[in-house]
A and B are shown apart, each in its own frame.
Chain A
């Protein structure tokens, strides 16, 4: 299957700082990537759709100014959590849509964020 990586795998930061998470599709080009958040013992919640070369589309209730998404190339999307607070602590997961496999999304390993 297709490979998607995330960096970093975990990060600890102080409240008020910004954190950037990278998502890369390693063996295919992805015009569309997605960002999810998952709290303990809960399901994944779609946050936004990242479109290469255009603005991201955010799901209802997700603050676009707090979760900045940039999709500057066909293999890289970044999520920046701005002015992070403890309630932003979560598991952030990205996925990339493989254009050669119509509906299939491949997920990254996730990034654990802990805001102190």
Chain B
């Protein structure tokens, strides 16, 4: 199972772009990369998922290099409400199990 590594914490100011990088050196061929956001006392919320290159949706972009050993979640123009823990996960494609790492605590300041 691929293990992920991401920074424990990051700080940003409102209106800035935030990039959170995650390394997953042992990612398997069939594994997807998924990012979740979690607020205190809530379940994780799906943000974005990708396999390779770039994926963009209405809230974020996900950049995945060709070797897929890392990925970067990009949040454009963050606001105070984006303060949360962000988890990068690499899926077990055969069984669907997800193992959460420590995540990145993003704090957005006014």
Contacts and interface: CB of A to CB of B under 8 A. Distances in A.
Interface of A: 1, 4, 6, 32, 34, 36, 43-46, 49, 91, 93, 95, 97, 101-110, 112
B99 A46 contact: yes
Given A103-B32, A103-B34, A49 B43 contact: no
Nearest to A6: B43
A107 B45 contact: yes
B101 A105 contact: no
B93 A103 contact: yes
Contacts of B49: 101, 103-104
Contact of B91 (A36, A43, A103): A103
A45 B99 CA distance: 7
Contacts, number: 61
28 contacts: A44-B44, A44-B87, A45-B100, A46-B97, A46-B98, A46-B100, A49-B96, A49-B97, A91-B41, A93-B44, A95-B44, A97-B96, A101-B49, A102-B93, A103-B32, A103-B91, A103-B93, A104-B34, A104-B46, A104-B49, A105-B34, A105-B96, A107-B44, A107-B46, A108-B43, A110-B41, A110-B43, A112-B41
Main secondary structure of the interface of B (DSSP, over half): loop
Interface residues of B, number: 23
Given A44-B100, A103-B31, 9 more contacts: A43-B100, A44-B44, A93-B43, A101-B49, A105-B34, A107-B43, A107-B45, A108-B43, A112-B41
